[in-house]
Amino acid sequence: MMKFELISFKICPFVQRAVITLLHKKIPYKVTYIDLSSPPDWFRQISPFGKVPVLKVDDQHVIFESAIIDEFLDETSPGTLLPSDPVRRGIDRSWIEFGSTLTLDFSGLIHSQDAEMFDSKLQLVKKEIKWLENQLDDGAYFNGNDFSLVDIAYAPLFMRINILGLGETLCPFEELPRVTAWSSRLLELPELPQSVVSDFEALFKSHLINKAPYTAGRLGLK
Ligand SMILES: N[C@@H](CCC(=O)N[C@@H](CS)C(=O)NCC(=O)O)C(=O)O
């Protein structure tokens, strides 16, 4: 059995994807938290972009990029969270990639430093979320009733949208009923509360109050 160590930053949505996969597939792992504002030297030496998540395998191999880590964990544990049909698998990978960009754009939105930036990022994120409506059907998850890596890729984003009370703004029910239902389903995942530290919400909000005072004020966090 391989030994896994996940290098994490407590409020990172990309790390959270890997944690959900580890929990869902019941894979044992150790987590090491770092402070991204002052990363240790050993981390700089193993992370080519200086980003988390990094997965260390057997204390010697380094795998980075959340989507790649998720696929690796899926491939090396029993069962699969990707469809067997190659076309469907390709489509899932496309929407996982889309989810990465959307998560980064959402991060840009919530780190906006003024009204102009906030409003333009808000329009961008709304436009991107709209794309999801037509990819969903009436099933519980992205692939109908099969839970998949696509669901895992978006759960951290919808968790943050929910905590900040941006659900109605970014995915209004009348306009995006399927996205709204999907997001509610993802928020109910049993792995979700365990995939973050117990004081996540307070940490996340205080991070925004410190790093993005404009957004924090606009969202009523302070
Ligand atoms: N594409 C990467 C994005 C990871 C990412 O942006 N991580 C952030 C934390 S949430 C990070 O490490 N930022 C540090 C930096 O950019 O210096 C992935 O999916 O793993």
For 166-200, how does the pLDDT look when each residue is reduced to its tens digit (9 = 90+)? 999 999 999 999 999 999 999 999 999 999 999 99
pLDDT, tens digit, for every residue of 36-95? 999 999 999 999 999 999 999 999 999 999 999 999 999 999 999 999 999 999 999 999
| Residue nearest atom 12 in ligand 1 by C-alpha distance | 51
Q: Which atom of ligand 1 is nearest to the CA of 107?
A: 10
Ligand 1 surroundings by CB, under 6 angstroms: 9, 12, 14, 36, 50-53, 65-67, 100
CATH code 1.20.1050.10 region(s) in the chain = 86-218
CATH code 3.40.30.10 region(s) in the chain = 4-75
Q: Tell me the C-alpha distance between 139 and 68, whole Å.
A: 26
The domain defined by 4-75 folds into: Glutaredoxin (3.40.30)
pTM of the model: 0.98
- Max distance between CA atoms of the chain, in angstroms, equals 51
Task: Assess contact for 151 and 186: CB atoms under 8 A.
Answer: yes
Tell me which architecture the domain covering 86-218 has in CATH. Answer: Up-down Bundle (1.20)
Q: Which atom of ligand 1 is nearest to the CA of 69?
A: 20
**Ligand 1 center–CA 50 separation, angstroms:** 8
Task: Assess contact for 34 and 56: CB atoms under 8 A.
Answer: no
**Three-state DSSP class for 3?**
coil
